[in-house]
Amino acid sequence: MTIKDYLQNILTNQDLSEQQEKDLQSHKKEVTDFLRKELGDDPVIKYAGSREKGTMIKDHYDLDIVCYFPSSDTRPLKDIRNDVADKLSQEYLLTHKASAERILDLKGSEAPVDFHIDVVPGRFIEDTDDVFLHVAYGEKERLQTNLKVHIDHIKNSDCVPIIRLVKLWAFRNNINIKTFVLELFVVKTLSDYENKDDLRKSFIKILEEFKDRFTSTQLVDPANSNNIVSQLITDSDKTLVAESAKRTFDNLADSEDINKWKDAFKDNDTDSKSSTTKAPGIAYVAGNSFQPNKPWSGNYD
């Protein structure tokens, strides 16, 4: 197997199964129907995030659902968010994120359901498609943005496959980087790169930029230039990302050793068929050194 074949193979194996897709659709409908019953027809409820961008990976995924209220809703953003959270908490176990409510499971469920769903409450800004989101942590209590612009920016970048590969590398190496930061960094790095469709060359290029420039690169929200997205990551975490990238880069830069590439992705399974014969519901099982957490764990998005 060539390195090119290997990288393409692990990406293909990161596609969600038909059953996982059905489960996501089912859970999305269940949550949407519940919110409609509790909140009425006013909010716009639809897909967002990696599902719409095409950057979802099986090892670590969730489904973003936006719940945007009309601009005529005069309640403070915090009250809007609390209302959504209070309604959801009647039915689901939640954990709170900076601007979203993460659904972990049904209340009282005897067996984990693994919803993989984040609900993002917000309010439209009058006469625009932009929204205000309530932010629970940090200096700002609200954020003006446009998730459709985010989706289009990533989806139309010609970088979706390499973004998925870098996400997989980051997750399997326990690298603490928010997904949107990772996506923007990849797109910025490869904006004028001639070999975007070459997974190997692009991956090495990203590693090189991570190690050399990630700590100083400024990443701006494509929907609002006042939002400096790179500030979502602490300086210490940026340094850790750069150091991890350097280790991988030094090991792979000129290597034709397929085992080194497997090691970079914590994949010690030399039997390619094993990835297609795993029990349904298990995202990844390969090698002894990598044991994945549940897809919602950690601080990845």
Q: Is the pLDDT of residue 300 over 50?
A: no
Domains of the chain plus CATH, in order, are 3-14+154-276 (1.10.1410.40), 18-145 (3.30.460.90)
Indicate the pLDDT class of residue 110, thresholds 50, 70 and 90.
low
Rounded mean pLDDT, 215-233:
94
Mean pLDDT value of segment 118-143? 91
290: confidence class by pLDDT, cuts 50, 70, 90: very low
Counting Cα atoms < 13 Å in the Cβ hemisphere of 284 gives 30
pLDDT at 114: 67
Determine the average pLDDT of the residues in 118-128: 96
Look at residue 191 in the predicted model and tell me its pLDDT: 95
pLDDT for 269: 54
Name the average pLDDT for the chain: 86
Q: How far is it, in rounded angstroms, from Cα 41 to Cα 64?
A: 19
Three-state DSSP class for residue 144: strand
**Residues 29-44, buried b or exposed e (16+ Cβ, 10 A)?**
ebbbeebeeebeeebe
Counting every residue written for the chain, the total comes to: 301
pLDDT in tens, 40-95: 999 999 888 898 999 999 998 888 999 999 999 999 999 999 999 999 999 999 99
Q: Average pLDDT, stretch 265-283?
A: 46
In the structure, what pLDDT confidence band is assigned to residue 111 with cuts at 50, 70 and 90?
low
Cα gap 74→197, rounded to integer Å = 47
Which pLDDT tens digit goes with each residue over 149-200?
A: 999 999 999 999 999 999 999 999 999 999 999 999 999 999 999 999 999 9
Nearest to 224 by CA among 117, 299, 126, 148: 148
Per-residue CA distances from 147 to 21, 82, 100, 232, 262 (Å): 22, 21, 13, 17, 35
Reported as a single tens digit per residue, the pLDDT across 6-38 is 999 999 999 999 988 888 888 889 999 999 999
